Amino acid sequence: MLLWIAGVVEAVAQLEEVAGRVDYTIDSLQEKELSLEVDNISFFKDNEFGGSVMKGYTLPGLWIEPKLSYQPLSNLKVEAGVHALIYSGAYRYPTYAYHDIAAWKGHQFQQGAHVLPWFRAHLSMNKVNLVLGNLYGGANHGLSLPLYNPELVLTADPEFGFQVLADTRLLHFDAWLNWESFIFKGDTHQEAFVVGTSSKFRINADTSHIHAFMTLQGVAQHRGGEQDTAISVQTWMNGAVGAGVRWNADKRWLQYVQAQAQLLGYFQESGRMWPFAGGSGIYAEATARFAYGLHLRLGWFRSNQFISLLGIPYFGSVSTKKEGAYYTGCPQTLNVGLDYSHTFAKRYTFGAKVETYYHRPGAMRDAQGVLSWPKAGLNTSFGVYLRIRPRFVLGRF
């Protein structure tokens, strides 16, 4: 598939994640070069979700990032532009549109499109990369599905803050701070930021016939701030440790088959937003990449009071469809996905995918304490995507 970053954790299979990746390597041959780049994903995604976990919805739209890029040194790159998100038929957008569009991020709105300034300064020092401003975020972190909903590649604000990336023969390391909400004195919403890390430890080379690896991942969100006195401080954490093995078949019809498993944890360090102070989960996944751009994934998740901060609610023990409701047992989700992508050129790709979630919720307790037993159900999602990233060289200065 397109835009693959060598060394990123192979815990991903969803088309939004693959389409959302970019190569962060600085090309020394582009020193002194000024260019115009236009990054765009146009998408249509239909989520037919029933049951008790979450409501269904449709996403028809696009986002576009026109930006100027200049490389004053062989190892320093500076980019500046804008990021605009547009849904077909929408005319009013929240000023902030990250994972949860909520009052704590303010009540300001924009008309016509959701537009944000975009800036990145990237310094490469041998095997270590420092990034300030807009990060290589989202799908580039390589978080597993229970920790990150790949649909955020289409809908989330670009991450902004500070990032450290490191690549060696045996290790890929990514650590970042994404500042989501800034506050001044007198603001009624909370300061909020996310910190995270995603590492892959290679036991042998990626190209080995049988490749083994281990993963360590974590994200934490903090809401509060020194200026905030009216709203209580809230901090939540997710972590995952896992191991996997991949058979590099390199056959005409089959590229590889991979299997991996993760143990996940959740901890509510402060605040009372969620019904559980802590929890855990188990995630197992098998993937296969075939010829003609086909990718198949089979995943199974079991939750024990686990809550994912950035993941899809099917990987957890709370309901977003019924406010205050949560699952008292150990809900399970079987996830099957089939992706197709075709790269016309290095910067032009079309893709489509079908996703299914078979969810067994067990017992559910609502906000009033009433216990019920929702039925297990099959939920489906379908999407098509077009990613284009033309680049125009304006000259050398």
Q: Residue ranges per domain, the chain?
A: 15-396
- pLDDT for 246 equals 96
Give the pLDDT confidence of 168-187 residue by residue, as tens digits: 999 999 999 999 888 787 77
The proportion of the chain whose per-residue pLDDT surpasses 90, expressed as a percent, equals 67
pLDDT bucket at 47, cuts 50 / 70 / 90: very high
**Overall average pLDDT of the 326-352 stretch:** 91
Is there a contact between 124 and 286 (Cβ–Cβ < 8 Å)? no
- pLDDT for 1 equals 32
- pLDDT for 65 equals 96
pLDDT bucket at 12, cuts 50 / 70 / 90: very low
Please tell me which residue, 94 or 9, carries the higher pLDDT value. 94
Report residue 247: phi and psi, to 5°: -100, 110
- pLDDT for 25 equals 87
Classify domain 15-396 at the CATH topology level: Porin (2.40.160)
pLDDT at 279 exceeding the cut of 90: yes
Mean pLDDT of the chain: 88
**Overall average pLDDT of the 364-372 stretch:** 89
Give the pLDDT confidence of 182-207 residue by residue, as tens digits: 878 777 777 889 999 999 999 999 88
- pLDDT for 39 equals 94
For the chain, give the secondary structure using H, E and C.
Answer: CCCCCCCCCCCCCCHHHHHHCCCCCCCHHHCCEEEEEEEEEEEEEEEECCCCCCCCEEEEEEEEEEEEEEEEECCEEEEEEEEEEEECCCCEEECCCCCCCCHHHCCCEEECCEEEEEEEEEEEECCEEEEEEECCCHHHHCCCCCCCCCCHHHHCCCCEEEEEEEECCCEEEEEEEEEEECCCCCCCCCEEEEEEEEEEEECCCCCCCEEEEEEEEEEEEEEECCCCCCCCCEEEEEEEEEEEEEEECCCCCEEEEEEEEEEEEEEEEECCCCCCCEEEEEEEEEEEEECCCEEEEEEEEEEECCCCCCCCCCCCCECCCCCCCEECCCCEEEEEEEEEEEEEECCEEEEEEEEEEEEECCCEECCCCCEECCCCEEEEEEEEEEEECCEEEEEEC
**Overall average pLDDT of the 228-246 stretch:** 85
pLDDT at 3 exceeding the cut of 70: no
Q: Burial letters for 12-40: b for 16+ Cβ neighbours within 10 Å, e otherwise?
A: bbbbbbbbbbeebebeeebeebbbebebe
Is there a contact between 131 and 161 (Cβ–Cβ < 8 Å)? no
- pLDDT for 226 equals 64
Q: What's the CA gap between 285 and 246, in Å, rounded? A: 12
The proportion of the chain whose per-residue pLDDT surpasses 70, expressed as a percent, equals 90
- pLDDT for 227 equals 60
Gyration radius (Cα) of the chain, Å: 21
